[in-house]
């Protein structure tokens, strides 16, 4: 499966040499798989006020399975909040929005991860023990 969704219109930064895209994607998946869904947003405008950080990881949520192992096949970048919002608004307007995972770069005690689908936006947090 070839991923042709390249975030071409997103003003983005590549990951640093010490940042592993697989590790970051795995960290972003944990709240979605094992955490709590905190809020559902009908629009990006509704979700916008919950984006409190200046920079985010953004990943195209594209995976493949090999046996029991899930392999991340999407692209993952860093973007400033305003650039990310502009990109998503444009993608919605042009009917090009794909499934995205968005997470603040700065780790918080209760990490928020936003899952964007073509119709609805969700906010998840890690389960606190």
Q: Which two tokens stand for residue 48?
A: 């916008």
In percent, the amount of the chain with pLDDT more than 70 equals 91
In terms of phi and psi (left: phi > 0; alpha: psi -120 to 50; beta: otherwise), the region of 118 is alpha
* φ and ψ of 89, to 5 deg: -60, -45
Mean pLDDT of 14-21: 91
List the domain boundaries for the chain.
21-125
Specify which residues 122 forms β-bridges with.
40, 115
pTM here?
0.89
Query: Can you tell me the distance from the alpha carbon of 11 to that of 62, in angstroms, rounded to the nearest whole number?
Result: 20
Mean pLDDT of 107-120: 83
Cβ atoms of 74 and 3 closer than 8 Å: yes
pLDDT in the model for residue 106: 81
């Amino acid at each position: 499966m070839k991923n042709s969704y390249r975030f071409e219109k997103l003003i983005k930064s590549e990951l640093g040499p010490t940042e592993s895209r697989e590790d970051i994607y795995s960290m972003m998946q944990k709240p979605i798989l094992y955490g709590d869904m905190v809020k559902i947003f009908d629009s990006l405008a509704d979700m916008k006020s919950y984006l409190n950080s200046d920079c985010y990881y953004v990943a195209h949520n594209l995976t493949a399975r090999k046996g029991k192992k899930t392999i991340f096949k999407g692209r993952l970048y860093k973007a400033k909040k305003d650039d990310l919002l502009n990109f998503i608004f444009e993608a919605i307007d042009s009917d090009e929005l794909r499934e995205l995972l968005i997470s603040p770069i700065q780790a918080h005690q209760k990490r928020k991860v936003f899952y964007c689908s073509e119709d609805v936006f969700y906010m998840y947090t890690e389960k606190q023990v």
